[in-house]
Structure formats: structure tokens, C-alpha cells
Chain A
């Protein structure tokens, strides 16, 4: 039961990083992909209907940690006090920036919202990688590398998403941005790869290699303008990286803490399992439906 809930939580984090990964990337790239206000609306329109639902994956992941592994939840959040605080502050300014952007009047206010969106995308995208890098290795180098990895991959992922969801000048610029982001993401990924062997269970080496291969495939596919497949590849890379991280965390979710010590009692885990099994497929189904409703590419005229 403990293992099962660990997998559920890893799954929720994976969903969060895959989905918010491109939200962060889109937010971070906003000024770089746009030449005009119409461009900016087109760029933000790609995540407009979905970013808030994507953010709930984080709330659910954290809520599930609280319920299933209280000591892990409290140890992680109080241990990474200031970084977690900065993540939250980032999510706050990004959220109001995205929601209020269409409701303010003057150019200055719109620019302020944009600043909130960019800051609130870059900051959490870097900090999540830094937090997990530090959690795994405890060194300053791992912290910086982890942050650089999550930020560069999020930017790549977001650029591919914009290229997939738009037309015209924005689409062309997004493709170039993706290739530029790859110049950052690939070396960082290669630098983190050697740290995996011997750290966690044997299969984490497999997921790490899968992540690296998917990243390489993503870059190649962007080059070849196969945006749909490129997005699948970057999503796979993020999912495989998250799986690797949680594979390593499995033995020690926090230094000096085992999963068994952190876990709630079997009764709680059992009832949560039943409710989760009933509800989660529904959630995935209606979120998937949202993406289906908004499947069309956005053109500058409509958005």
C-alpha cells in the first residue's frame, strides 16, 4: 500500500511537471516570441483555458502527500522553507497576471501583468528542479544543475507547445526558440546523466536514458517540424526524468526518513485508494476533453 501511494504521488508530480512544464515555458518565452500585442495574446491563448487546471495537479500531489505521507509532506515543505515560499510567490504573481491581463486597461498595466507572468513562470520552473536536485544530492552543484535542467527543459517544452498550437510568425519564432532552448537543455541533461548510476534502483538508469533519448528525439523532431511528435517526445522526457527522481527518492524520500515511517496507517491509504481510483480517471477524462475542445491552432486574428 505504501509503495502504491508512492507511485500515485509520483504520478501526480509527473502530471504536474508535464502539464505545468509547458505553461512555465510559454510564460517564460512570452516576451521572446511576441512582436506585438496580438502575438502576445496568441502565445498566452495557447495555455489560457488549461493552465489553472494544470496547476491543480500540484495541489493534488501536495494534498496526497499530506494525507498519505504526513512526515514527508511536513519535512519537505518546512525543510525547503524559503525555496517553496518563492515558488508560491511566483505562482501567485503568475496566476493574477494571467487572469487579470485581459481585464486591465492601460499598456502599463498589461506590461505589469506580463512581468508577473514571466517572473512567475521562470522562478518556479527553476526552483522545482533546484529543490529536487538538492533533495537528491544535497550539494550546491546539484541544486544549480537541477534548476537549470528543469528551467531549460520547461522552456523547450513550452516552445514546442507554442509551435504546435499556433500559426504564422509566432509558430516560426517558437520553433527557433525551441532549438535555442535545446542548446541549453541538452548539455545540462548530459551533465546530470552520470549522477544517476548507483544512486537508486537499477531501473532508474533505464528511465534516465529514456529521458535523454526522448530529449534528443524531441530536438530532432522540432528540427524536422514534426511538432506533435516533438511535443510527445519532450513530454516523455519530463515524465521519464520525474520517474527517475522518484525512483531514487523511493528508498529515502527525505534524508533520514523512510517511506514506511512517513506513511499514514493502512486504513487511510485504503479508503483514499478507492476514492482515488474512482475519481482520477474522471479527472483525466475531462481534462483531456478540454484539450480536445481547444485543439485548434490559434491564429493571430482569432486570438
Chain B
């Protein structure tokens, strides 16, 4: 165990945490902006209530995405100073652009949105949310362009032991980035979609007096603050359907861009592709193992080259070739981790998208009934929605593990190895302290976020203002609603 190992663990821990919150921010922001747009266009009350309800969940999560992101901006310099000095000329540019073009937009306009409900004209207020959401998505593009450069460095030359950028446009339009950006952003929409689906499923169950696990029944309590919600038209059905559509469309984009990434891997990172299958030798018509021992002949070749007879390079043969090119070293990543993360990513991701397709079919409105009331969402499906909550999050984290552990032992493919990237002046003890504190701090905060989210989902949306409320309805939290309009978010 040395500083290098701990620095790698620290990067892994802090980035996986960051990557739990950020995809939700990216997707949920667009979802909330969509809801507010629907309210703006139709003027229907339930869109506003959904906007505020999911807006609050969005903000609880947004805070974590921001604070865990600060760590990332500093961590390269703190733990990976050799890497930073080598790549800064190229890699620093998209990071600086991300801060300048994306983070300012996101943070400033989100502040305006949160505090501007009763201070800005409606249209401007809505535009502020869209500006913030565009900022979030733009930041994904820049950081993924930087990340793609590590896997497939382009637009640079090495002078005096440092990478020098020769073409910014090449860096920003790196083929790896162009495949990776839609893949990760769409996957973020699947994560957010899965989150909304679970929340809506839970609210549907709760308002029918059902519990998540079948067998126990709660009568809908008369005192339950959420009861009057049922009088509004199909609020949760609307939000569920919108999320199902978002997830299904995003799922198609994830699959398409994933296919593109797979083909790029064959040219750019053959070792990652080989490790993802555990393929030992160069093989024509390489099979794909659905599980160890269950092989589909030619499927890996089909995935990677759109040709079932194409040759896929194997781990041992790539190792031998790399030794000839780069000198003796171990060029093989952790094969079991890469193998399994690949399968979990595909399996869990496809299950989520399948669930959304099933949900769209179950909640369809038959032609004959158009204009009439649609079928209610089946209780068993609502339960499934809640239980599927972890699937897309696990899938996207697995995708990250596949992508980054499969890249090892390189930080910059073919140019710089991870072992040579670490800060030489930082001691084992220093990394151990920061790793321990970050792990504990992030663990506590993640738990707190979970508690806050669950609490707000259980509490349900705020009730309509008293004058519009059905007779006899009592606002759940009148003091908060009246006294603190601007600080509620």
C-alpha cells in the first residue's frame, strides 16, 4: 500500500460519489424545466405543484453535486501533480471552459430561479431555469471531452516531456467524446427518469393506501396531508408518463451511442474491449459471454465491428504487443471488475428501459377512450417502479467503472501511466487523512441527502394556496408556506 494506491482509491471514491448526484442533476433539471414549461403553456395548477415538488428534490440533490464537484477541480493538482503538469496544456482547457461557460451559467441562473419566484416575470423566471439546466448539460460535454482525451488523445504533440495542444477543435470534437457525451448524458436522463418513476410510483401507491411491498395495506388516512391531492387530475400519472417517455427515448440514445463507443474501443482501446469479455487471445468471430460459460458465438465481434466474423484482439496478445512498443510492464487492467461492470451496466440499464417501455404500454390511452379517463396505473407496476429505483444508478456507476478501470494502467492512453501521474511530494499519511475524511464526510452527507429526499417524497407536494383549496382542506404547513416564500427552496 503506497500513496499511489490511496490516491487511486480517493479518485475512485470521490468520483463515484460525484457521479451518483450529477447524472440526477442533469436529467432531473431538464424534467423540472419541462414541467414548468408545461405550466407556463397550459396554466394548469398541477404542473406548478409538480414543478415545485420535483424542484425541491432537484435542489436537495443539486447541492451534493456542486460540493462534490469542487473536490474534482482540485484533486488533479493535489494528488496527480505529475499528470496535471504533463496534460494541463490540453486537459486544462476544457476544464477552464467548463467553469467559464457552464458552471457560471448553472450557478448564477439557478440562484435566480430559486429566489426569483415572486421577483421575476414568469417568462424570465422560466428562462433562468432553462439557462441553469443548459449549463449543467454543457458542463457534462466539457468534462467528458477532457475525459475522452485521456482515452484517445488527439490534437496535441509532446514537447519537452509535456503535452502541447495543437488543435482545440480536434480536442472538442474527439470521436471518443462525440460517442461518449450522448451516451453519458442520455444515461443521466435514464437515471433521472428512473428516479421520477420511482417517486411517482410511490405517490400512486400511497394515495391509494397501498404499501411498497405487497401484503400490507394502509387505509388512506383522513389526516394525511396528501389526500386532497387526489382531487387534482391525474397528477402522478402525468408525471409518471412523462418520465417513462423520457427514459424510453434516452434509453434508445444510450444504446445507439453505446454501440458507437464499442466500435471506437476496438480501434482506440482494444485492451478495454478484450478485458470486458475476458478474451485472452486475438479471435476471429469472438463470442460474448452473457454470464461465464454462456457464450453467444460471434456476438462480441458483431457488437464491436458490426461483423460476426471480425477479429477482436485478446488480452495476452495486446500485452505482448504493448511490451514491444512501450517496454516491459503490466498493461492489463483488472479483468473481473471490467468484465462484470460491463454486464451489470448493460443488464441493469436495459431492465430500466424495458420497464419504461412496459409502463408506457400499460398506461396507454386506447383510441376509443380518447377524451375519456384512462386506465389507472396497476398497483403491481407502481410497486415495480419503486423497487427498480437503484437499477439505473448502479448501471451508470458500472459504466463509469468499465470506462475508467478498463483504461488502466494508463491515465493518458499510450502516453502516461497512472503510476507516473501521482504527486511525488505528497505522503502516504496525507492521502490517507484526506481519503478517510472524504469517505466519512461523503458517507454522512449521502445518508443525509437520502433522508431528506425520502422525507420530502413522503410529505408530498405543498397544497394549493388556501383560497384555491377545496373547502375544508387545511394546509399542511401554513406557517412555512406563508412566511417564507423565497426561502422554501
Contact = CB atoms under 8 A, between A and B. Distances in A.
**Chains A and B come from one and the same complex:** yes
Interface of A: 41, 44-45, 48-53, 55-56, 59-60, 62-71, 73-79, 81-82, 84-85, 88-89, 91-93, 95-96, 98-100, 102-105, 264-265, 267-268, 271-272, 275-276, 279-280, 283, 286-287, 290, 293-294, 302-303
Given A48-B487, A103-B452, A267-B165, A67 B88 contact: yes
5 contacts: A63-B100, A91-B67, A95-B66, A265-B89, A303-B487
A88 B74 contact: yes
B278 to A, nearest CB: 36
Interface of B: 56, 59-60, 62-64, 66-71, 73-74, 76-93, 95-101, 103-105, 107-112, 114-116, 119-120, 159, 162, 164-166, 168, 423, 425-426, 430, 433-434, 437, 441, 445, 448, 452, 455-456, 484, 486-489
B56 A53 contact: no
B120 A293 contact: yes
B219 to A, nearest CB: 25
Interface of B is mostly: helix
Nearest to A67: B92
Given A103-B56, A290-B108, A294-B115, A268 B99 contact: no
A77 B72 CA distance: 12
A88 B59 contact: no
B99 A290 contact: no
B116 A293 contact: yes
B487 A41 contact: yes
B221 to A, nearest CB: 19
A215 to B, nearest CB: 29
Contacts of B168: 268, 271
Given A56-B103, A67-B89, A89-B437, 9 more contacts: A48-B115, A63-B99, A67-B93, A98-B63, A102-B487, A267-B164, A276-B100, A283-B104, A286-B104
Contacts of B441: 89, 92-93
B74 A77 contact: yes
B77 A66 contact: yes
Given A71-B85, A265-B159, A290-B108, A283 B115 contact: no
Given A81-B430, A264-B165, A265-B159, A92 B67 contact: yes
A265 B66 CA distance: 31
Contacts of B120: 293
B415 to A, nearest CB: 15
Contacts of B107: 52-53, 55-56
| Most chain B CB inside 10 Å of its own CB: which residue of A63, A98, A102, A293 | A63
B469 to A, nearest CB: 22
B400 to A, nearest CB: 21
Contact of A76 (B59, B60, B77): B77
Contacts of B88: 66-67, 69-71, 73-74, 264
B460 to A, nearest CB: 14
Contacts of A66: 76-77, 84, 88, 91-92, 95-96
A268 B63 contact: no
Given A73-B92, A287-B104, A290-B112, A60 B486 contact: no
A105 B138 CA distance: 34
A294 B119 contact: yes
Nearest to A94: B67
Given A55-B107, A73-B77, A272-B96, A99 B487 contact: no
A46 to B, nearest CB: 11
Contacts of A93: 441
A30 to B, nearest CB: 14
B486 A45 contact: yes
Contact of A103 (B59, B81, B92, B119): B59
A265 B164 contact: yes
Contacts of B63: 95-96, 98-100
B78 A78 contact: yes
B81 A91 contact: no
Contacts of A77: 74, 76-78, 81
Given A45-B486, A62-B74, A53 B96 contact: no
Given A53-B111, A85-B434, A70 B89 contact: yes
B448 A63 contact: no
A293 B119 contact: yes
Contacts of B448: 96, 100
Contacts of A92: 67-68, 70-71, 441, 445
Q: Which of A50, A74, A275 is most buried by chain B, counting CB atoms within 10 A of its CB?
A: A74
Contacts of A95: 63, 66-67, 70
Q: Which of B423, B456, B488 has the most CB of A within 10 A?
A: B423
Contacts of A268: 89-90, 92-93, 164-165, 168
B92 A49 contact: no
Contacts of B109: 286
A293 B166 CA distance: 43
B445 A96 contact: yes
Contacts of B64: 96
Contacts of B437: 85, 89
Contact of A271 (B93, B108, B110): B93
A124 B432 CA distance: 21
A258 to B, nearest CB: 14
Contacts of A69: 88
Given A103-B59, A265-B89, A272-B96, A88 B103 contact: no
Contacts of B119: 293-294
Contacts of B82: 74
Query: Top 9 nearest A-B pairs by Cβ distance?
Result: A70-B88, A77-B77, A67-B92, A99-B63, A74-B81, A66-B92, A74-B84, A53-B108, A60-B99
A105 B455 contact: yes
A60 B67 contact: no
A62 B162 CA distance: 20
A95 B448 CA distance: 14
A88 B66 CA distance: 12
A68 B91 CA distance: 11
